[in-house]
Chain A
Amino acid sequence: MISSLSFINQKGEILIYRVYKDDINRNEIIQFCAKMIATKENKESPIINIDQTSFIHISIKDIIILATTKIDVNVAMVLEFLYQLTKICKAYFQGNLDENCIRKSFVLIYEILDEVLDYGIPQIADANLLQKFIQEGGIQQETTINIERLRQLTYTLTGAISWRPAGLYYEKNEIYLDIIESVNLLISRKGTVLRSEVVGSIELRSKLTGMPECQIGMNDKLLMGKQARYNKQNSGITIDDMKFHACVGLPKFEKDRIITFIPPDGHFQLMSYRISENINIPFKVNAFYSEIRENKLEIRLKIKSIYDQNIYGTNIIVKIPVPKNSVNVISASSIGKAKHEVEEQSVIWRIKKLQGDVEISLNCEIQLGLTTREEVWSKPPLKIEFQIPMFTASGLRVRFLKVMEKSGYRTNKWIKYLTKGGEYQHRL
């Protein structure tokens, strides 16, 4: 399927090169590297065909990870595999993946590459599992000798619950639940909502003993519809689509809308969801651009937080676009600090903390420098980044989380909500 896999640095040098099939040679890769370096703009599509060879690549910061193939493979799968591969590497390198760690741990990477692909066909690509038998500097002799444990390992690897090893034990059983929503919003010049969408994810950190079966319930309309008693008080929210981690029993969900799972150990994303109806937009924005006289531009901006009074938004960053030839910017704001940043071509207004139901304002006076070319300024949209803890833009709430294990222990459960700004844009 995949003929070869390489890690390439910014200069186009091959850091790692592993061949799985015989139909590719190194020179082809080198040619591709030269091409990639020549077109740095990255405008080109991630899949390029040169003489029957397909080059499929993704870029993680400065590293390009490239897969080649000569047959008609499922591209989506290859791409997704490359992403998972980077996840694995990052898990091994404490979250980094740069040239240094690759050069330093190339032996480890080769070992990983040997395991995740066989004949170019994706195999086990779960960092937690791989770490059970591939480790920097080799695994301890003890595990390699204990045949019984090895058997158990291979059965876990190939079994139906491959994500969780047997025999885990914790003194204190805990489970942490994070609901993180990111709001994508596009508002037109006239103030109408062109697109609003919440992409959320539920992340879990589990420290649980044994093989616990968990069940989670939210205020999802379809689920609540099935449980009649909730029908009258609260109709629940409509979730457009949900995607689950492999540990969730999908057939059961399809049938009863109940989310049950045996969690992997440690941190993982249980599910992601998308909601497009009835979204609580956290900010109302009014912006006026006016040219007071030639070469002088005035911007008046008003933002109102429209979430509950006892909730606070944090780390709010408003990016107000200004023309390229802005030279002198004087700004006055009711809260936080605003600064002209030339590289970003915008005035950046930073607010550390903002209570709900408050209106804040910013006035900017901008001196425009003379330009040689008469160019019309294409106003890019205004963007807002923010984080609001204990708030969900979709209104989603977790109603219950049950942990059932045959030993019947008690579990401490912690829950956290957070809403972030995703592609949060106002056209001007």
Chain B
Amino acid sequence: MAYFGNNPQRGELQELYADLNDLNFEKKKEAVKKVIAYMTVGKDVSDLFQSVIKCLEFNDIEMKKLIYLYIVNYSRQKPDDAIMVIQNFRKDVRKSENPLVRALAIRTFGCLRVPKLNEYLIEPLKDCIQDDDPYVRKTAVLCVPKVYEVSPEICPALLELLQKLLEKESNALVLANLIQSMREIEVVSGKQLINLNQKIIQKLLLAVDECIEWGQIFILDYLATYNPQDSKQAEIIIERTLPRLSHINPTVTFCAVKVILKYLDFLDNGELVKNLCKKVAPSLISLLSWNQPEVQYTILRNISLILQKFPILFENDVKVFFCSINEPYYIKYEKLDIMVRICDSKNFGQVLNELLIYLNEADPHFVRKTIKSIGKIAITYDKALDKAVSILVELAKNIQQPTEPVQELLIQMQLIYKKNKQMYKHDESLKIIYSIVDYANEPESKSACAWILGEFGEFIPKSVEKMKEYVDNFQMEDRLVQLQLLTSAVQLYLKYPSQCATLIQQLITSAKDSFNPDVRDRTYIYWRLLSTDPEVVKNLVCFNSGTFSNFSKDLRLWETQDLVVALENMGSISNLFHKLPHQLYKNIKIKINNQQNVKIYKGEEKPDTQAQDQQDENNQNNKKELQQQSQQQQLQDVDLLNFDEPSNNNNNNNNNNNNNNNNNNNNNNNNNNNKTDLFELI
């Protein structure tokens, strides 16, 4: 046949063509299977379209499914041929008594994704949405977003139908899929479709008890985006969600946690909040020992976020984050990270002892990360400083090779010294760390060594000789090291002017012609200053960096107002990457823009403090509400803190007052205070 003209697999296709048109049913069926097999491996068999759909005339459900699969795959390439199938679909939907066939037809019909075919779909779809059989109904409901994605203009009637269905549907599974389907449309259209009222919420809560696990997830996921009207409503929803904590599907449990944590903000009763926290914690911990590492990983990633708002949940449970030797590294890294976050004045000893064990592990990356964690703890928690430093110094004593962990060790020690300059001036540790300086082989660790040399030159034996060594190799170094060397050398020069005179000369000569403008500029600045007024240089390079505040900030992931949004999205991809949804999905293609729209839609629903500041008195009512909520939110933060220190009443009262004068301008101030409190605790 000329049909196959230039096709390289001419023989194969021809054979299939013959078999498809064979009169023998079995032969046809085998041929269809083969076609699907070719499709799977990525070969183009679209040319057989007509022959394949001819096989639809047999009433064999397995074959039907295969052919439908084929049609779905190639309908976009062959829209004109696809039209021929329409009659078949319509016949199935209208005439078949078999609900499975009806559902199959409508499901496949929706997947064609050919705009001009969709108008044929509207009527049968309407029928199916009102079908007697719940299985057909749920399939039809899911079909609407498929159509909407391709041709939204023909959908208004369908959307109305969905909204009506939401009012009257009583089957839990259909309801759950309905919610999910409407949410998908909301994502694409950016418009709010679901209008919740008391009755529907009631229905959804009932449906959670009755439908399959995925349905429970859809509903809970949706409820997490809803803002309850008052404390009473929040309490009811929490009460109905609590049993889900005992579900065997980890995601159901996790979604229940999400809903509960979110609604906690709306509760007035502090005692209740405390009790609920006690119930949520063990459920979360069980998820951590879930035997599917990938699921564990997701949960761990989210726990860093939960911790920022609910440090109370894991107060006494640092042990659950201890690494086990067989775990995949992505989990170990996550656990290390969390251990640093969870570390406080009570448990730092325990945490550091555990980290000490990890230093013996074989994997250098993991050891490096452990050292980094120890360094972070030393910098963040003053009480842990001594112990952490002694661990690191002990480690330094046994070092004989320029391994990867050594680099991290030097970097962390530099940071520790930087923060606590006065404390370590005469310390023994300085000499031990200095003894391993030769093992530095990464730019960052080398620059750390150079920094130590410049800063503590007078306490280190033979510092000038060492600096000479560095200066001799100046040209070979990385830019980062060169910059640090310049500063350190000048520092050293100010300490030992006579010994370093030639050294500084040598350095300036080799650095002034550097190709790197930064290095060159710095060289010239020092050069000019040294030749005019060394005092100025002294002030410039030897200043005492009294406070070193940036470190604690390092530990938090989000600003408070973002935290609320983030918590609402617990479990999502954006959260997994520790981003807000709009940060991860922005300005890319139309679909992603839609994503942004959702963000705005959520913004209206959700008190977003930043947006609130920008909004003027245009919609005052709305604003008032938002403020109230955000205040409640802040109040909650403080309450949670109070579990730790009951003496903190002052703060609480303050906040209560504020709550009374709604339009008080101090509001913002107070918010800020609370924020810092919260983070200090973390």
A241 and B214 CA atoms in complex are apart in Å by 22
Which of B42, B62, B110 is A14 in contact with, Cβ under 8 Å? B42
Contact with B along A75-86 (1 / 0, CB 8 A): 111011101000
Nearest chain B CB to A150's CB is how many angstroms away?
A: 6
B28 at the interface (CB under 8 A from A): no
Cβ–Cβ contact B61 & A138, under 8 A: yes
Cβ–Cβ contact B299 & A158, under 8 A: no
A137's nearest neighbour on chain B, judged by CB, is B62
Measured between beta carbons, the chain A residues less than 8 angstroms from B577 are 49
A15's nearest neighbour on chain B, judged by CB, is B40
Are A244 and B324 also in contact (CB < 8 A) when A75-B572, A79-B295 are? no
Measured between beta carbons, the chain B residues less than 8 angstroms from A271 are 248
B329 at the interface (CB under 8 A from A): yes
Cβ–Cβ contact B249 & A240, under 8 A: no
Contact residues of A between 32 and 64, Cβ < 8 Å to B: 42-47, 49, 52, 54, 57-58
B84 at the interface (CB under 8 A from A): no
Which of B242, B282, B569, B592 is A240 in contact with, Cβ under 8 Å? B282
Cβ–Cβ contact A46 & B572, under 8 A: no
Contact residues of A between 13 and 29, Cβ < 8 Å to B: 14-17, 19, 21-23, 26
A77 and B329 CA atoms in complex are apart in Å by 22
Cβ–Cβ contact A49 & B573, under 8 A: yes
Nearest chain A CB to B9's CB is how many angstroms away?
A: 18
A246 at the interface (CB under 8 A from B): yes
Nearest chain A CB to B404's CB is how many angstroms away?
A: 15
Which of A119, A158, A272 is B134 in contact with, Cβ under 8 Å? A158
Cβ–Cβ contact B180 & A250, under 8 A: no
Describe B's contact surface by its main secondary structure. Answer: helix
Measured between beta carbons, the chain A residues less than 8 angstroms from B354 are 194
A16 and B111 CA atoms in complex are apart in Å by 18
Cβ–Cβ contact A423 & B285, under 8 A: no
* B contact residues, total (Cβ < 8 Å): 111
A167 at the interface (CB under 8 A from B): no
A110 and B255 CA atoms in complex are apart in Å by 30
Contact with A along B55-88 (1 / 0, CB 8 A): 0000011100110110011001000000000000
A16 and B464 CA atoms in complex are apart in Å by 67
Nearest chain A CB to B498's CB is how many angstroms away?
A: 43
A42's nearest neighbour on chain B, judged by CB, is B328
Measured between beta carbons, the chain A residues less than 8 angstroms from B142 are 118-119, 121
Cβ–Cβ contact A75 & B571, under 8 A: yes
Are A199 and B289 also in contact (CB < 8 A) when A118-B142, A151-B133 are? yes
Measured between beta carbons, the chain B residues less than 8 angstroms from A248 are 246
A199 and B298 CA atoms in complex are apart in Å by 20
* A contact residues, total (Cβ < 8 Å): 94
Measured between beta carbons, the chain B residues less than 8 angstroms from A69 are 573
A197 at the interface (CB under 8 A from B): yes
Measured between beta carbons, the chain B residues less than 8 angstroms from A159 are 134, 171, 173
Cβ–Cβ contact B61 & A144, under 8 A: yes
Cβ–Cβ contact A251 & B209, under 8 A: yes
Measured between beta carbons, the chain A residues less than 8 angstroms from B400 are 374
Which of B40, B103, B213, B398 is A246 in contact with, Cβ under 8 Å? B213
A384 and B320 CA atoms in complex are apart in Å by 21
Measured between beta carbons, the chain B residues less than 8 angstroms from A21 are 149
A230 at the interface (CB under 8 A from B): no
| Most-contacted residue by chain A among B286, B293, B328, B398 (CB, 10 A) | B286
Cβ–Cβ contact A74 & B217, under 8 A: yes
Cβ–Cβ contact A43 & B294, under 8 A: no
Contact with A along B638-675 (1 / 0, CB 8 A): 00000000000000000000000000000000000000
Nearest chain B CB to A274's CB is how many angstroms away?
A: 5
| Most-contacted residue by chain B among A52, A119, A123 (CB, 10 A) | A119
Measured between beta carbons, the chain B residues less than 8 angstroms from A370 are none
Cβ–Cβ contact A107 & B62, under 8 A: yes
Contact residues of A between 102 and 145, Cβ < 8 Å to B: 106-107, 110-111, 114, 118-119, 121-126, 133, 137-139, 144
Contact residues of B between 288 and 303, Cβ < 8 Å to A: 289, 292-295, 297-299
25 examples of A-B residue contacts, CB within 8 angstroms: A47-B298, A47-B573, A47-B576, A72-B581, A72-B585, A74-B572, A77-B214, A79-B251, A80-B249, A106-B37, A119-B111, A124-B212, A126-B212, A155-B134, A162-B173, A162-B212, A241-B246, A241-B283, A244-B246, A244-B247, A248-B246, A274-B285, A378-B362, A423-B324, A425-B325
Q: Other than the known A15-B40, A22-B149, A153-B100, what 9 A-B pairs have Cβ atoms closer than 8 Å?
A: A45-B297, A47-B573, A71-B187, A74-B255, A79-B292, A81-B214, A121-B218, A243-B286, A423-B324
